[in-house]
Structure 1
């Protein structure tokens, strides 16, 4: 589908669009998302919250954005206009830690430091019900008591709504069976520090976790191969703790946000950081990616959201040069026969399988090495 003026893509850039003064970044914030004029990563800054924006999502077929904040409000934004069209407020009495949507986009669920989870009607903005907890609620997908040794930082449903994954400050990952209401899988010491976020691929087979140990890991959850093999690690993309992560719809990209104020875009097959987006003035608390992979949404402690256009990402000189240096090429997976980006890593030959077939392979596999960085980074 064409990018410019497409009716099916409300986020598409039309030819020479008129500037939007209220969303135009100030000169101090720079014009380009990654601070390179050649990159041409256009973005909008969405201002409207008065405190940390803690969670963000695309919804309504990428025509709207849902966000929540420590300012105790939830806002529904029109993507094209760039301002809120619905505000959910005056119900929570403390910062809102997360917001989530029902699959049909008709209900919003919020969790808060006021010890409650609340459900809202998306159309009217009215609160429908409230559940009270004994302590602060950090995630609103589900609450599982008595199993983690420390605070649960995030939980998410798999696409079939049969299982829930929860991650914690105690460095563990737990999968819960919704039918038996019990733990089906526990991964102890999944990271070397607190795990901050988790997300599934659209088919529910793979799980990505983000951690304060500055890394992300991809696990083969469906077949349980993680019991025999190490997960795929994505390292050296952030200079500090990783706060959030999300797969693209086709799982070819992983997007992560960090306490270093940046957003990292990872090429899943090759296992390396493709691009960093810079511009937020404080921690990046959450990230999202549109279904067509043209836009990335980020939320930050600086009280703003940013909408980044990554449509021309593959044409950025630094991305092209990096691929050349690493000797990358498009190959066909010998197992699933799908095309994937393979990467030459040091003295190792390019792999003949995509990352997902390698993760589920019963034989020892060679994982791509992370890109090198200078010791003082």
Structure 2
């Protein structure tokens, strides 16, 4: 029914230096029931489409070869009241951003003039990009999303402190989970099991069973700062890694319910995001300040320090092969090679042309295509002149041809992008 079941016992616990985990419900070790430089290119702008201000659609699905996206209702990702650390807030708040425009939850029968025209574009030869569905995910800002490994579920989280599971085919909610006491910063599915995990400004990481998500399986405590991001190891089902605003990295064992390793001092305070290298899990990419650190996942030795961005990095993502890594700051996107013989080399670079960049994901079937989530801060002019706004968009970047296309997609900052190789969404 989409509502969480009453929790039989509390799963919160005090933080300590070693890290703790509390368990509720089935043992997490039990088997789940269902396994679940680039030459700047020509910018080809899409024509402006009719737009109805009364039907904002923050959650949008694209296919058959496309990407699903989530956004918050405004260009401001975090609210002051949700933040304890100004340093964390500075990563996500843009001066002069739009005020919240909270609207009612949209049914699937609602229509938008944008749906009828221009929602399918040819990105490159043999690849199309088409909007399939959209729905309001929350009355609060949404900050993160991720598809399950089988593509059947989509998880989202944000300022309302709730994690929501959606059925991908209908965009109907499966469950709403309400255990975090502060906003949710990241959500990730296990690549091989029907589990997913959430991180939060309440300084905890929670692990859930996607098949029976009424209460969390584990609650990991121990971070001294707001937990900014997390990820599952791609080959070790038991292992989760998380980072906080103080620059501390923790490895957690789901089966043992404990902190396996703590690593400090390897990155600058305020790490924004971390992601394991797909398939192998050899490297862990961490974005902090304007540098991406590539750590050996076993020894935590810094193998590469990827420099070149001049502004804060908001997002990093690997391609499915684990051979390319993209990093995004508001004014540029850089793609780094991890192929043999060229590890750590910047092989593509894109500078913004109007819209500011925030998130990215590699296309599931066209490895030369990067989808970038954008926003545009308002331009406030002098005395008695109304502010002007630009529709946030998706930037479709063909790295091989050095060209981009711009597609109007949302009414607020595109905070996160997710891709499902199984479904092509």
TM-score, reference length from structure 1: 0.65
User: Which has the bigger relative contact order, CA under 8 A and spacing at least 6?
Assistant: 2
Q: 1:43 to 1:277 in 2, by over 3 A?
A: farther
* Partner SS for 1:117: strand
2:107 — aligned with what?
A: 22
What is the CA deviation profile of residues 274-302 of structure 1, one whole-angstrom value per residue up to 9, with x for unaligned ones? Answer: x323241211100123326853xxxxxxx
Does the alignment pair 1:181 with 2:297?
no
CA distance 1:56–1:41, shift in 2 (3 Å): same
Corresponding residue for residue 283 of structure 2:
163
Partner of 2:329: 211
The correspondence of residues 1-377 of structure 1 with structure 2, limited to 5 A, is: 22-27=107-112, 30-32=114-116, 41-89=130-178, 91-125=179-213, 126-132=215-221, 133-141=223-231, 142=241, 143=243, 144=249, 145-159=264-278, 160-169=280-289, 171-187=290-306, 189-212=307-330, 214-223=331-340, 225=342, 230-236=346-352, 239-240=355-356, 242-250=357-365, 251-260=367-376, 261-273=392-404, 275-291=405-421, 294-295=424-425
| Cα deviation, residue 36, structure 1 | 9.0
Check the 8 A contact 1:197/1:211 in 2, yes or no.
yes
CA contact (8 A) 1:173 1:190 kept: no
Cα distance in 1 for partners of 2:423, 2:195 equals 25
Query: How many angstroms does 1:255 deviate by?
Result: 1.0
For each residue in 1:82-106, what CA deviation from the matched residue of structure 2 results, as whole angstroms up to 9, or x when unmatched? Answer: 21012222x1000000100111241
* Uncovered stretches (5+) of structure 2, i.e. residues with no partner: 1-62, 66-105, 123-127, 232-240, 244-248, 250-263, 377-391
Q: Taking structure 1 as reference, are residues 42 and 175 closer, same or farther at Cα in structure 2, changes over 3 Å only?
A: closer
Quote the offset at 1:33 in angstroms: 7.6
SS at match of 2:107: helix
Unaligned 5+ segments in structure 1 are 1-10, 14-20, 296-377
Aligned length: 270
Structure 1 residues 121 and 239 mapped into 2: Cα distance closer, same or farther (>3 Å)?
Answer: same
Larger relative helix fraction = 1
Write the distance in 2 (CA, Å) between the matches of 1:40 and 1:181. 39
Check whether the contact 1:48–1:83 (CA below 8 A) recurs between aligned residues. no
Provide Cα deviations, 1:46-89, integer angstroms capped at 9, x if missing partner. 22422111111222532221111211111111122221012222
Q: 1:72 to 1:287 in 2, by over 3 A?
A: same
Q: 1:151 to 1:37 in 2, by over 3 A?
A: closer
CA gap of 1:219–1:119, structure 2 versus 1, over 3 A, is same
